[in-house]
Amino acid sequence: MKQGIRSAPLGIVCFFLLLPLVSVFPQGVTPDTVQTWLQTDPITLPFREIAPSILQVFDSASVERLPLELLFDKLKEGVAKKVPPARLKTVLEGEVDRLLKVRAILRDGFGKEVEKDPFFLQGMKVGSLALLSGFPEEGLKPVCSPQIGIEKMVSLVPPLVEMHRIDSLPVQPLAYFVQAVSASTLPSTQYGSFVSLYLKASAGRIPPEETLRIMGDILKTGGGILQIERELARRTRR
Amino acid sequence: MSGTNHMGKTRYLGFLLSVGFWVSWFLCPLNLWGDVRIGMEGAIEKRENGDRVYLPQGWVNVSVSHFVSESLSLFGDFSAKGGWDTGMKDIPYDVSSSLSGTFRGESFFFGLEGGLRGVRRYDTARQLEAYLSSNVSYTMAETSLFLKPFLQTVLGPTDSTTISLEPGIEKLFGEGWMGALSFRPALTYYTDGSSEVSLEPKLTLDWFPSVPFTASIRGGWTRRLLDNSDVLRESVVGTLEMIWYPSLHTILQLNATIEKVYRALIVTEKGLTLTSELELRVGLPFTKDSWDLVLGGGYEWRIDSGNPQAEDGWFVRVGLEMKL
């Protein structure tokens, strides 16, 4: 159990590094696909006894019109990690619960048409993982706004989750920062640097509210990573 | 006479620092955010002269910030650390207070900071420092030009005034890499009429990846000249700084410096010095991120031309810091 907790952050980092591979998720997964896999793949042998309850979770997710690809991915991950069969169903139900919450947030933020967006699956995946990592639902809402768009949201959420792990992100200043990011011309490839800049600020005892406000102000006035580093470095040298 | 002079300086220092504290304090209600931290620690230190000393100390840090607009921010900071040092007759302290402001536009940035610091340590007799530092920069896309004027007056065993101007260029490249090249000439006047010039070009490379880790490498060369153009000291310096977040609520910082003084007027100043410092900060569970356990250690190794025997020193410290 302890080992699992210790390896969780590493797993999260690995996931975000492997995120570009999300496009190769199996497409068009149905409960039948899952049933066939459970019956034929030798790796699923210890889980065959609970196969009906697993399929029940997939059926209910299918009724909710959730993308089963993500749930199937979770199932494969659980099987590969040899999660105790008795726990696997709970894990899958937790994933369904998170996916429902994330879809609701995405629909509220981007509109119902979001499900047709090519980035929808990735949006669901990063959103679910954010909630799993303890990122607050309230924090996810400001990131899902039409101004920012789902493509930018997919790039911004992983760094925000990492920042939240380092030091809890207060919701109000986070909303201000996200608004600033959405308005800025900063390329999404540079969002990752927010993590190490935030870490440097945190190590320099700058409170999270202040860090987010400084970063937000800089982005709002047209600045970028260079300016953020300069100003945070000035504050940490006090 | 000297004693009276010191008493006057101490009162002056106390007055200015208390002004800094109260200004910070009264700014609090105007502020969007304020941060107060108190802490205490116990340290064991083995000094280069072989003495082993104990340092129980405590500190308070007050930081306030006022964001007037997106373009203008004001900050006030007060910090005091003091306690006991079994290797000293007097009480050691390090008290500082500063006010700073930043003004930013799309490509223009101006920062100004003024501060005071009073310090007494085993290697520094009672000393008061006052400084004014600025940063003016202009950014074009991923390149920035900066100029850092700096003025400092030290009232202490040797009174001095230093003025410097550091122009430089910073550039962002690749994913999360940042390089800076700067040159810092400085002029120091002493009250006995003598003066000193120092020239310091340096190159810095920072890495800000998308994982919770950051590193900075700095290389520099320094030449210090007397007013008659004699070289007082010439050295090369390399510094490595790393910050890592290995697991929940844990921040690990490492600073290491290597300095080779290859030319010096005083022969014992020639030599090689290695300094390293490690700090581990762990958030205590069930304290809602408000208590940190601070573990630190450092090692210094030095060999100079006048002494074939290398000298070393180390310290270990354990502390607790609380965010109020």
Query: How many CB atoms within 10 Å of residue A200?
Result: 22
- In a domain, residue A171? The reply is yes
Q: How many contacts (CB atoms, under 8 Å) link A and B?
A: 141
Cα torsion B17, B21, B27, B33: sign: positive
Q: Could you give the CA distance from residue A174 to residue A188 in angstroms, rounded to a whole number?
A: 17
End-to-end CA distance of chain B: 44
User: A199 to chain B: which residues are within 8 Å by CB?
Assistant: 212-214, 243, 245, 251
- The nearest CA of chain B is from the CA of A207 a distance in Å of 7
Question: In chain A, which residues have their Cβ closer than 8 Å to the Cβ of B109?
Answer: 223, 227, 230-231
In a domain, A156, yes or no: no
Residue B151, pLDDT > 90, answer: yes
User: What is the pLDDT at residue B8?
Assistant: 57
A194, A132: one domain: no
Beta-bridge partners for B307: B304
Q: Residue A50 has which token pair?
A: 């609970």
Q: Are residues A25 and A130 in the same domain?
A: yes
Question: Do A31 and A79 fall into the same domain?
Answer: yes
Beta carbons of A195 and B144 less than 8 Å apart: no
Q: Are residues A103 and A217 in the same domain?
A: no
pLDDT averaged over chain B?
Answer: 88
DSSP H/E element including B260: strand B250-264
Mean pLDDT along residues A15-24: 46
For residue A86, tell me if it sits in a domain: yes
If you average pLDDT over residues B228-256, what whole number do you get? 92
Tokens of B315: 């310290």
Same domain, A220 and A112: no
Partner-chain contact A196 B102, CB within 8 Å? no
Position B17 pLDDT exceeds 90 = no
Say yes or no: A114 and A207 in one domain: no
Q: Is residue A158 part of a domain?
A: no
Local confidence band at A66 (pLDDT 50, 70, 90 cut-offs): confident
Out of B105, B139, B289, closest to residue A226 by CB: B139
Residue A162 within a domain: no
Taking the C-alpha atoms of residue B197 and residue B187, their distance in angstroms, rounded to an integer, is 5
C-alpha B297/C-alpha B207 separation (Å) is 24
Q: For residues A13 and A192, what is the distance between their CA atoms, to the nearest angstrom? A: 12
Answer yes or no: do A16 and A99 share one domain.
Answer: yes
Checking if the pLDDT of A7 tops 70, the result is no
Average pLDDT along chain A: 83
The two three-digit tokens of residue A52, written as one number: 């009906």
The nearest CA of chain B is from the CA of A72 a distance in Å of 28
Please check whether residue A220 touches B, CB under 8 A: yes
Percent pLDDT > 90 in chain B is 63
Residues A89 and A19 in one domain: yes
Specify whether the CB–CB gap between B66 and B42 falls below 8 A.
Answer: no
Chain B residue with minimum CA distance to A192: B210
Query: Is pLDDT of B322 > 90?
Result: yes
Q: How far is B178 from chain A (nearest CA, A)?
A: 8
Range of the domain at A74: 1-148
Helix axis angle, A51-63 to A31-40, nearest 10°: 160
| Mean pLDDT score, B121-141 | 91
Same domain for A207 and A109, yes or no, is: no
Q: Which residues pair with B101 in a beta bridge?
A: B74, B112
Give, to the nearest 10 degrees, the angle between helix A149-166 and helix A85-110: 130
Choose among B26, B20, B59, B41: nearest CA to B324.
B59
Task: Confirm if B132 and B162 have CB atoms less than 8 A apart.
Answer: no
Report the residue from B106, B172, B214 with minimal CB separation from A226.
B172
For the question of whether the overall pTM of this predicted structure is more than 0.90, the answer is no
Residue A153 located in a structural domain:
no
Q: Classify B3 as helix, strand or coil.
A: helix
User: Tell me, what amino acid is at A45?
Assistant: L
Lowest-pLDDT range of A64-78, A140-154, B9-23, B298-312: B9-23
Q: Exposed/middle/buried for B73, CB within 10 Å: 0-12, 13-18, 19+?
A: buried
**Whose CA is closest to A93, among A134, A123, A50, A39?**
A50
**Cβ contact B139–A162 (<8 Å):** no
CB-CB neighbors (< 8 A) of B144 in chain A: 226-227, 230
Among candidates A202, A199, A197, A209, which has minimal Cα distance to A171? A209
Task: Out of A190, A217, A221, name the one closest to residue B106 (CB).
Answer: A221
Taking contacts as CB-CB distances below 8 angstroms, the residues of chain A near B210 are 16, 158-159, 162, 191-193, 195-196
Rounded distance, CA A159 to CA A109, Å? 19
- Nearest chain B Cα to A10, which residue? B247
- Shortest Cα–Cα distance, B168 to chain A (Å): 13
**Would the pLDDT of B55 be above 90?**
yes
Q: How confident is the model at residue A3 (pLDDT cuts 50, 70, 90)?
A: very low
The share of chain B scoring above pLDDT 70, in percent, equals 90
Neighbours of B41 (CB within 10 A): 19
- The pair of structure tokens assigned to A69 is 């690809």
Interface predicted TM-score (ipTM): 0.85
CA dist., res. B215 & res. B244, Å (int): 9
Total domains present in chain A:
2
Same domain flag for A71 and A98: yes
A13 interface with B at CB cutoff 8 Å: yes
Q: Are residues A124 and A233 in the same domain?
A: no
B70 → closest Cβ in A159, A203, A217: A217
Interface of A with B in 142-181 (CB under 8 A): 158-159, 162, 165-168
Residues counted in chain B: 324
- Taking the Cβ of residue A213 and every Cβ of chain B, the question of whether any pair is shorter than 8 Å is answered with yes
> What DSSP character marks residue A78?
H
Identify the closest residue of chain B to A168 by CA–CA distance.
Answer: B289
Region class of B20: left (phi > 0), else alpha (psi between -120 and 50), else beta: alpha
Whether residues A4 and A60 share a domain: the answer is: yes
For the cut 70, the answer to whether the pLDDT of residue B11 exceeds it is no
* In-domain check, residue A84: yes
Domains of chain B: 2-323 (2.40.160)
